């Protein structure tokens, strides 16, 4: 189940984190602001009234009452105004600069406007907060039900959008809701229920949205009660153990009795929470089915429109038949144009083709004969080389045989057959 029930600490069963509420989108201009800006070196700033007046003229700060009652104020662009050339004289420009410097550093000029006690909307802070809020709400949402909040649940979910340590004040949240609904058009808001608009949804708050927001708020409340009861049961259990350890039976019985009552209440809360979650799951399922049916209906309308443009199967058959007839006409025109060309004797074509074939055949036979002659010449040279090699081998064999005979005769000769050399 994807019901957003406030901070993550509440969902985990622990006590919610207490954050300090402070103004982030509204600036109060009074003596407390002067005290906050006072320094030991320079003292209090003197010309803050001039600064705030200039910021208001530029729409970077807007008095809160004017902002609440003036729709489209942030969409208005500053327009060129006719400037008196005499106001641009060097003396006037220089004296204005001296007055500003005097007001900030030395003391407040008599001509400088005094600081008015008022509340100013910080436009840039407001726009940045709105952008972050929309991104958190619409980023990664799996269902349109996740885009619906009660006012209380919205405050729990987005009060820490700028800082985890502090929360937006009630005035901040009021201004933020006005900006999101009226100026940026990111949400639909009726004072109690908030719905972030999806790209395909521009509807205002419906009774269905109000019911969904109520269920989510009730689930959030029941979840907090469950967490509180669980913590209380754990505390009573510890109290009973300590009482028994101290031999205080009366306190132990009282703690156990209170624990049983808390467990009974916890079971009731669990049962109620389970039923609420079941109802929410069914609503989410039905919402998905509605979206699917809407897509199917839109697809049916698209197909019906396309079929209407086509004209049905009979029109398609007529188009195909007409195309076939036009193609046949093209073939007939081509045949007529070919008949109007020169008459060619088919016999001459056959004779020319036969002559070309004969010429190609003779050239091929001549090429083959040359290849055969070349091969025969190669074989003849190989044969002669083989005969020469055989002759050389035979001559070598004769030389070897003669040499062998001479060696044999020399070995058979006796030493006595040769006279001894003279001393």
- pLDDT of 220-267, one tens digit each? 889 999 999 999 999 999 998 998 888 888 888 998 999 899 999 999
Domain boundaries, the chain: 19-75+90-205, 214-310
Q: Residue 86's pLDDT is what? A: 41
Q: Residue 55's pLDDT is what? A: 84
Tokens of 178: 């006005």
- pLDDT of 157-212, one tens digit each? 999 998 888 899 999 999 999 999 998 888 899 889 999 887 766 678 888 888 88
**CB-CB neighbours of 410 under 10 Å:** 8
Q: Is the pTM of this model over 0.85?
A: no
Tokens of 284: 């989410």
Indicate the class that CATH gives domain 214-310. Answer: mainly alpha
Nearest to 17 by CA among 172, 176, 186, 167: 167
- pLDDT of 343-395, one tens digit each? 667 787 788 888 888 888 999 998 998 889 888 888 888 888 888 888 888 88
Nearest to 284 by CA among 183, 396, 208, 381: 208
**Mean pLDDT rounded to a whole number for the chain:** 79
* Mean pLDDT across 53-65: 87
Q: Residue 2's pLDDT is what? A: 36
- pLDDT of 271-287, one tens digit each? 998 998 888 888 888 87
Confidence band of 116 (pLDDT split at 50, 70, 90)? confident
Q: Residue 17's pLDDT is what? A: 55
Q: How many CA atoms lie within 13 A of 23 on its CB side?
A: 13
Residue 338 sits at the vertex; the CA angle it makes with 321 and 326, to the nearest 5 degrees, is: 10
> In the beta sheet, which residues pair with residue 7?
none
Confidence band of 18 (pLDDT split at 50, 70, 90)? low
Q: What is the dihedral of CA 261, 265, 271, 274, to 10 degrees?
A: -130
Residue 67 sits at the vertex; the CA angle it makes with 122 and 152, to the nearest 5 degrees, is: 80
Separation of alpha carbons 233 and 263, rounded Å: 7
- 398: Cα separation from own chain's centroid: 99
């Amino acid at each position: 189940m994807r019901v957003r029930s406030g901070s993550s600490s509440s969902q985990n069963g622990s006590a919610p984190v207490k954050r300090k509420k402070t103004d982030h989108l509204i600036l109060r201009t009074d003596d407390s602001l002067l005290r906050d800006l006072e320094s030991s070196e320079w003292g209090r700033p003197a010309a803050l009234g001039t600064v705030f007046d200039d910021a208001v003229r530029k729409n970077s700060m807007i008095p809160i009452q004017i902002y609440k009652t003036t729709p489209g104020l942030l969409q208005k662009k500053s327009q060129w105004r006719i400037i008196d050339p005499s106001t641009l004289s060097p003396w006037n420009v220089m004296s204005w600069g001296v007055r500003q410097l005097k007001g900030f550093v030395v003391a407040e000029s008599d001509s400088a406007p005094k600081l008015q006690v008022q509340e100013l909307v910080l436009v840039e802070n407001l726009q940045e907060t709105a952008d972050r809020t929309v991104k958190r709400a619409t980023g990664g949402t799996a269902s349109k039900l996740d885009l619906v909040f009660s006012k209380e649940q919205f405050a729990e979910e987005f009060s820490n959008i700028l800082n985890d340590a502090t929360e937006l004040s009630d005035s901040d949240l009021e201004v933020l809701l006005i900006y999101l609904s009226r100026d940026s058009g990111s949400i639909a808001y009726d004072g109690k229920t908030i719905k972030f608009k999806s790209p395909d949804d521009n509807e205002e708050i419906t009774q269905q949205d109000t019911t969904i927001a109520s269920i989510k708020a009730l689930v959030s409340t029941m979840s907090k009660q469950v967490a509180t009861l669980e913590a209380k049961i754990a505390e009573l259990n510890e109290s009973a153990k300590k009482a028994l350890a101290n031999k205080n039976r009366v306190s132990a019985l009282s703690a156990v009795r209170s624990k049983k009552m808390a467990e009974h209440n916890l079971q009731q809360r669990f049962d109620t929470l389970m039923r609420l979650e079941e109802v929410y799951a069914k609503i989410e399922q039905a919402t998905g089915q509605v979206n699917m049916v809407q897509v199917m209906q839109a697809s049916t309308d698209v197909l019906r429109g396309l079929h209407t443009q086509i004209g049905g199967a009979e029109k398609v058959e007529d188009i195909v038949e007409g195309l076939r007839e036009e193609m046949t006409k093209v073939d007939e025109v081509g045949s007529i144009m070919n008949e109007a060309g020169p008459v060619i004797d088919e016999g001459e074509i056959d004779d020319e083709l036969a002559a070309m074939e004969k010429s190609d055949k003779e050239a091929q036979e001549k090429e083959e004969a040359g290849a055969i002659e070349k091969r025969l010449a190669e074989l003849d040279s190989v044969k002669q080389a083989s005969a020469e090699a055989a002759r050389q081998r035979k001559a070598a064999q004769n030389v070897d045989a003669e040499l062998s005979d001479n060696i044999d005769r020399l070995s058979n000769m006796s030493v006595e057959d040769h006279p001894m050399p003279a001393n």
